[in-house]
């Protein structure tokens, strides 16, 4: 295992920086610092881990599940929302050059195991799909920040689409373990693509979740149909936080909806193409509006988790 210290002294600093103050929950208790605050600069240790493939198989026609055994207790240092850079293998037909960023689907129960859930879409993931059990794979991380979750909250909403649920799954497990009620909105192209059991992995999550599934195939996932449904869910039951990942359309929808609910925390795990994953190359910069101050921030370093209300732009990434 090789280690590099990812601290403000030895990596590129945020393009703009603002403080990340502690926030307070609705009952006056102090919550953990806002993980989605603009230009978060908390440093952590990043390592290259040499892993062995324990399990690797197709979940359905689109997605694959990968479970690795690392050379260190990665389960103890990885938090919901963080990601790793994977060194995809070179095959006879594919030669991926850059490492591929991939959000963490799960860790444990052994301290050295880590899981990924991914969609085979390009050169890197096609090469990754060829790995067999017992093969070796290098990963770099953990990278990025984490979600804000106050265990004194009562109910949170999770809105996920496609493979975005892989990013949200650890958050769902953490919330369920704390006894929080869950409103889960799952979006997919069709029922065949929906991974409900893979998302609600634990008995606690299944017992605490009020699940709403929407699909492209029947039009129920369309913004015009889904937006009033989410508004009705938030109006019917008090929620403390809303989280999303996997679709820019869903992000913009929730931004509009949360404008009427200033009391609700809103966070998004951004999906963005990136090269280094450590804040040096600046290829994943996005525009944010932090309390009226427009800032270009790196998704890999200041994110990938940001406040929903801070995101600027209508570019559709899926």
Total residues found in the chain within this entry: 318
Q: Which residues are annotated as a binding site?
A: 100-103, 124-125, 276, 281, 284, 300
Whether 208 and 134 map to the same domain: the answer is no
Sole residue written with tokens 């920040």: 145
Residue 20 in any domain: the answer is no
302 is a domain residue: no
Q: What local confidence, expressed as pLDDT, does residue 97 receive?
A: 85
Tokens 């979600």, located at residue: 147
pLDDT value of residue 17:
34
| Residue 212 sits in the same domain as residue 188 | yes
Annotated binding residues for [2Fe-2S] cluster: 276, 281, 284, 300
- Out of 116, 143, 170, pick the residue that ends a domain: 143
Domain co-membership, 162 together with 124: no
Q: Kindly state whether residues 131 and 164 are assigned to the same domain.
A: no
Give the pLDDT of residue 32: 41
Residues 165 and 74 in one domain: no
Provide the domain limits for residue 104.
47-143
Shared-domain flag, residues 114 and 170: no
Kindly compute the dihedral angle of the four CA atoms of residues 299, 34, 158, 170, in this order, to the nearest 10 degrees: 80
What is the CATH classification number for the domain harbouring 214? 3.40.50.80
Strands of 93-203, DSSP E: 100-103, 106-107, 113-119, 136-143, 155-161, 181-188
- Residue pLDDT tens, the chain, 318 long: 544 433 333 333 333 333 333 333 333 333 443 433 443 334 568 899 999 999 999 998 889 999 999 999 999 999 999 999 999 998 888 888 889 999 999 999 999 999 999 998 889 999 999 999 999 999 999 999 999 999 999 999 999 988 788 999 999 999 999 999 999 999 988 888 888 888 888 888 889 999 999 999 999 999 999 999 999 999 999 999 999 997 888 999 999 999 999 999 999 999 888 888 888 999 899 999 988 889 999 999 999 999 999 999 754 444
Count of domains forming the chain: 2
Residue set of the binding site for FAD: 100-103, 124-125
């Amino acid at each position: 295992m090789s280690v590099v210290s990812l601290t403000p002294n030895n990596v590129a600093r945020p393009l703009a920086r603002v403080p990340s103050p502690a926030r307070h929950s609705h009952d006056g208790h102090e919550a953990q610092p806002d993980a989605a605050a603009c230009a978060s600069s908390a440093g952590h240790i990043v390592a290259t881990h040499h892993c062995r493939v324990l399990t690797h198989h197709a979940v359905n026609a689109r997605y694959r599940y990968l479970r690795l055994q690392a050379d260190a207790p990665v389960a103890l240092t990885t938090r919901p929302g963080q990601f790793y850079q994977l060194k995809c293998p070179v095959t006879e037909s594919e030669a991926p050059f850059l490492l591929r960023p991939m959000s963490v689907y799960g860790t444990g129960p052994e301290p050295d195991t880590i899981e990924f859930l991914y969609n085979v879409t390009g050169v890197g993931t096609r090469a990754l799909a060829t790995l067999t059990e017992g093969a070796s794979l290098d990963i770099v991380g953990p990278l990025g920040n984490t979600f804000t979750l106050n265990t004194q909250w009562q109910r949170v909403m999770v809105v996920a689409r496609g493979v975005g649920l892989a990013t949200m799954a650890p958050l769902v497990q953490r919330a369920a373990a704390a006894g929080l009620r869950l409103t889960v909105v799952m979006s997919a192209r069709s029922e065949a693509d929906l991974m409900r059991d893979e998302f609600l992995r634990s008995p606690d999550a299944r017992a605490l979740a009020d699940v709403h599934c929407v699909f492209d195939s029947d039009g129920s996932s369309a913004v015009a149909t889904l937006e009033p449904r989410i508004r009705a869910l938030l109006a019917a039951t008090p929620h403390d936080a809303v989280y999303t990942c996997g679709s820019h359309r869903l992000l913009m929808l929730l931004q509009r909806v949360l404008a009427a609910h200033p009391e609700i925390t809103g966070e998004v795990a951004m999906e963005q193409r990136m090269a280094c994953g450590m804040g040096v190359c600046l290829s994943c910069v996005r525009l944010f509006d932090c309390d009226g101050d427009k800032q270009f921030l790196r998704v890999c370093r200041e994110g990938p988790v940001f406040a929903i209300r801070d995101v600027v732009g209508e570019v559709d990434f899926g």
